[in-house]
Amino acid sequence: MNLTAVQEYLRDHQTGLWKPIVWETSSALTGTLLLLAQRHYTRRYDHLLAQPLKWFTRQLAWLPVYWVLFVPIAFGIRYGVYALAGDTYTHLPWPQTFLYEDVKMTVFFSIFATIMFGVLSYHAMQNEKLRVERVNASLREAQLLRLTQQMQPHFLFNALNTISSLMHSDVARADAMLIQLADVLRATLDVSEQHQVTLATELRLLRGYAALMCERFSDRVHIVWDIDETLLDCQVPVMSMQPLLENIFKHTVERRRQATTITISASREQDAMVLRLEDDGGTLRAGDGAAAGARSGAGIGVRNLRERLSAMHGAGATFDLIQLAPAGVRAEMRLPCAS
């Protein structure tokens, strides 16, 4: 605005370039002071941004303030600067001056109010988005904590039931299982407040549980471990593999007289980590697909795992139960691999 005013002034004058600069600077300074005052006193109406008519009505109350104060302040500055320079500031008669300047202030006020509404609305939208994300994160955190804590007593209940079944028939084996259980519980305490752990930590828990169950079914189960060690630092939901192995013992090993081979593997497929637990004798109920399956119908462990995978990764993680031929069931979990 200063440059424009100077160019227009030069068309009719050759000296006194400071004068148009004084005019525009005094206008800009006065307008800025009025805008700051308006913002200060109307800040309390920011909660009305969702109701634009009410918000603009509160702002409109300030327009007469611009009409009344702009000319005295801006022109007072001009009179003062001109006096210091030994000159006299002249302008149109006061009625015309007020009319002209007030029309300009009305346009200026309207533009400013519209821009301010847009900026404040954008910030309000971003703040609301951030608040919702924080609430969702808190809800996911609470959900994951509930699901994780749910698994610990469930695991302990099943382990103690297993030991109880041996108490009167084989005291030595029951004692060995209690020692193994103590080791597993000690490991679970290390991750009790975590929702995710490294694959290495998860396998430590899984091996402890496997040793516990193999002690009970020593002549009826054989476990093969096929682990890609480059994946050991990748994150997995804590106690996510244990319920899958528990299902194999519950639905296959306990119901078969012949030996069962269980294969536990962790491999990388493109950018995903694939965890598989499969047996060579299990079956899925007729009508159950990969997304449901006999094992997931009532099993708290599998339902729990599905909920945790959904809360942590959404569509980025999958879990399936797959019927193998001629017999066997594979539990397959695909996770993003981020070490």
Q: Kindly give the pairing relationship between strand 260-269 and strand 318-323.
A: unpaired
Q: Kindly give the pairing relationship between strand 221-227 and strand 260-269.
A: parallel
Find the range with the poorest average confidence among 242-246, 260-264, 300-304, 311-315: 300-304
What confidence score (pLDDT) does residue 261 get?
95
Amino acid in the structure at residue 298: A
Dihedral pair phi/psi, residue 271, rounded to 5°: -95, 10
Task: Kindly state the DSSP code that residue 258 receives in the 8-state scheme.
Answer: S
Higher pLDDT, 208 or 218: 208
Question: CA-CA distance, 209 to 226, in Å (whole number)?
Answer: 17
Secondary structure of residue 206 in the 3-state scheme: helix
Highest mean pLDDT among 125-134, 173-182, 211-220, 275-284: 275-284
Q: pLDDT tens, 32-85?
A: 999 999 999 999 999 888 899 999 999 999 999 999 999 999 999 999 999 998
The mean per-residue pLDDT over the stretch 168-182 comes to: 82
Burial of residue 317 (CB within 10 Å: 0-12, 13-18, 19+) is: buried
Binned at pLDDT 50, 70 and 90, residue 288 comes out as very low
What confidence score (pLDDT) does residue 289 get?
45
Task: Kindly state the DSSP code that residue 90 receives in the 8-state scheme.
Answer: -
Secondary structure of residue 339 in the 3-state scheme: coil
What confidence score (pLDDT) does residue 179 get?
84
What confidence score (pLDDT) does residue 291 get?
39
Dihedral pair phi/psi, residue 233, rounded to 5°: -90, -5
What's the full length of the chain, in residues? Answer: 339
| 139 pLDDT higher than 60 | no
Among 281, 185, 282, CA closest to 242:
185
The mean per-residue pLDDT over the stretch 176-182 comes to: 82
Highest mean pLDDT among 179-183, 221-225, 241-245: 221-225
Among 66, 128, 157, CA closest to 103:
66
CB 231 within 8 A of CB 199: yes
| Cα–Cα separations (whole angstroms), residue 32 to 81, 122, 137 | 19, 22, 41
All domains of the chain in start order, with CATH: 2-132 (no CATH), 146-336 (3.30.565.10)
Q: Mean pLDDT score of the chain, rounded to an integer?
A: 83
What confidence score (pLDDT) does residue 302 get?
77
Tell me what percent of the residues of the chain surpass a pLDDT of 90.
40
Q: Kindly give the pairing relationship between strand 196-198 and strand 235-237.
A: antiparallel
| 11 pLDDT higher than 70 | no
What confidence score (pLDDT) does residue 75 get?
94
| 115 pLDDT higher than 90 | yes
The mean per-residue pLDDT over the stretch 302-330 comes to: 86
Higher pLDDT, 205 or 66: 66
Model's pTM, two decimal places?
0.53
Find all residues with CB under 8 Å of 174, minimum gap 6, and list them.
163, 166, 167
Quote the tokens at residue 268. 């990388």
Higher pLDDT, 119 or 257: 119
| 287 pLDDT higher than 50 | no
| 136 pLDDT higher than 60 | yes
The mean per-residue pLDDT over the stretch 222-235 comes to: 94
